[in-house]
Amino acid sequence: MSFSFRLEARAGLARAGRFDTPHGEVRTPAFMVVGTHAAVRALTPEQVRGAGTQVVLANTYHLLSRAPLVEKLGGLHSFMRWSGPILTDSGGFQVFSLPKKQISDRGVRFKNEVDGSEIDLTPERSIEIQAQLGADVIMAFDECTPYPADEALAAAGVRRTLAWLERCRAAHKSPERQALFGIVQGSTYLHLRKACAEALVAQDLPGYAIGGVSVGEGHELLCRITEHTAPLLPEGKPRYLMGVGLPEDLVAAIGYGIDLFDCVIPTRYARSAVAFTARGRLRLTQRRYRRDAYPIDTSCDCASCAGGFSRAYLHHLFAANEILSAVLTSLHNVRFYQRLVEGARAAILAGDYEGWRREFLAAYGAGAAGAEED
């Protein structure tokens, strides 16, 4: 089965669509849950699916030494027992965040964090690994520009990203099974974003991502970059905002026309006792929840809330350092994110995304003040 994307509705710039892949259809906007090591932390594939997740993401950098084994055992879908679509990133973000690496036009050299061996990750090697992993959507190897960056550094990153895309395309042998997405870089320089986007669009790729917007630039700059860049990408192809995961960021970006998101925030925050609710965040280790009989969110239909697990019980589990604390809170957070994008999609289909956005942010912001104390 080949890849296709079709728009079903628009509300302003916000879009609702359907992205067909060899492992099933994705209704957009969609939030992809991150399973870095081919596993979503604290959750089984059935629990991830039961929370409404359509797509999971795995990490090339963390799986590079395991890729031959994964291929031998049938690819990621078989290896991690996930029957739906899978996306793998290129490893670019991870290697460029390493403190010691050597970047050249050829690729990136760094030390393996496990055994200290020298590793060369090139565009060709990234595509080879992703082919072995067998994901439905694979990402081009790019240079993720840090923030802040001067214009010369950002421009060099764009030049290298585009050159590496050409090499990724040459190395990509199975476009009918794996859709290769290109990544727009350019830091906070809008003219560089425009130039990079235009060069990518000329390649007529199956989909496009906006990278380098979750590296510390903050909400306002994220919005400025996304609002500027998203309209430069084709209407008939999926648009993916990489690594962005705070609810307020998702709600803004959907309004600019983004279709796909991923982030570790739902499960990472859950392991730190932070739960997302319709009225902001809760930190379940606070004493105020020690005797609280309510579920995390009374409006939530997740297995944790609907199952009758109270804030008091979760407070107890975190205090006792029980693994179940991470399981129940992760179940809730993943479902919260899926309900968020489901609500956004329903609003777009109904033609009133702006009204839904205002209502969501009013409730979320009203409850946020004092809901979590770091």
> Which pLDDT value is given to residue 99?
85
Contact yes or no for 282/304 (Cβ under 8 A): no
> Which pLDDT value is given to residue 370?
43
* Crossing angle of the two packed helices 323-350 and 353-368, in degrees rounded to 10: 150
Q: Mean of the per-residue pLDDT values for the chain?
A: 95
Distance CA 86, CA 139 (A): 12
Both tokens of 33, joined, read 């849950």
What is the tens place of the pLDDT at every residue in 7-43?
A: 999 999 999 999 999 999 999 999 999 999 999 999 9
Distance CA 108, CA 268 (A): 28
Region 203-224 average pLDDT: 96
Q: How many helices (H) and strands (E) would you count in the chain?
A: 14, 16
Closest CA relative to residue 207, chosen from 139, 127, 125, 134: 139
Give percent above pLDDT 70 in the chain: 98
What is the tens place of the pLDDT at every residue in 32-71?
A: 999 999 999 999 999 999 999 999 999 999 999 999 999 9
What is the tens place of the pLDDT at every residue in 222-261?
A: 999 999 999 999 999 999 999 999 999 999 999 999 999 9
Region 287-305 average pLDDT: 98
Handedness of CA 218, 221, 224, 226 (dihedral sign): negative
> Which pLDDT value is given to residue 368?
56
Strands 179-184 and 207-210: what pairing? parallel
Distance CA 36, CA 91 (A): 11
Region 4-263: CATH code? 3.20.20.105
> Which pLDDT value is given to residue 236?
97
Q: Active-site residue numbers?
A: 89, 262
Q: Is residue 374 scored above 50 in pLDDT?
A: no
Q: Is residue 82 scored above 50 in pLDDT?
A: yes
Write the single-letter amino acid at 303. A
> Which pLDDT value is given to residue 227?
98
What is the tens place of the pLDDT at every residue in 323-373?
A: 999 999 999 999 999 999 999 999 999 999 999 999 999 999 876 544 554
Contact yes or no for 83/61 (Cβ under 8 A): no
> Which pLDDT value is given to residue 369?
43
> Which pLDDT value is given to residue 373?
43
> Which pLDDT value is given to residue 367?
60
Both tokens of 32, joined, read 């992809």
Non-local (6+) Cβ contacts of 274 within 8 A are 281, 282, 283, 284, 329, 372
Domain boundaries, the chain: 4-263, 270-361
Q: How far is CA 322 from CA 31, 44, 111, in A?
A: 28, 17, 34
64: Cα within 13 Å, side-chain hemisphere: 25
Contact yes or no for 29/261 (Cβ under 8 A): yes
Distance CA 125, CA 109 (A): 12
Distance CA 287, CA 47 (A): 29
Distance CA 23, CA 21 (A): 5
> Which pLDDT value is given to residue 117?
84
Output b/e per residue, 75-91; b: 16+ Cβ within 10 A: bbbebbebebbbbbbbb
Non-local (6+) Cβ contacts of 347 within 8 A are 11, 14, 353, 355, 356, 357
> Which pLDDT value is given to residue 209?
98
pTM for the whole structure: 0.96
What is the tens place of the pLDDT at every residue in 110-161?
A: 987 777 889 999 999 999 999 999 999 999 999 999 999 999 999 999 999 9
Question: Higher model confidence: residue 277 or residue 93?
Answer: 277
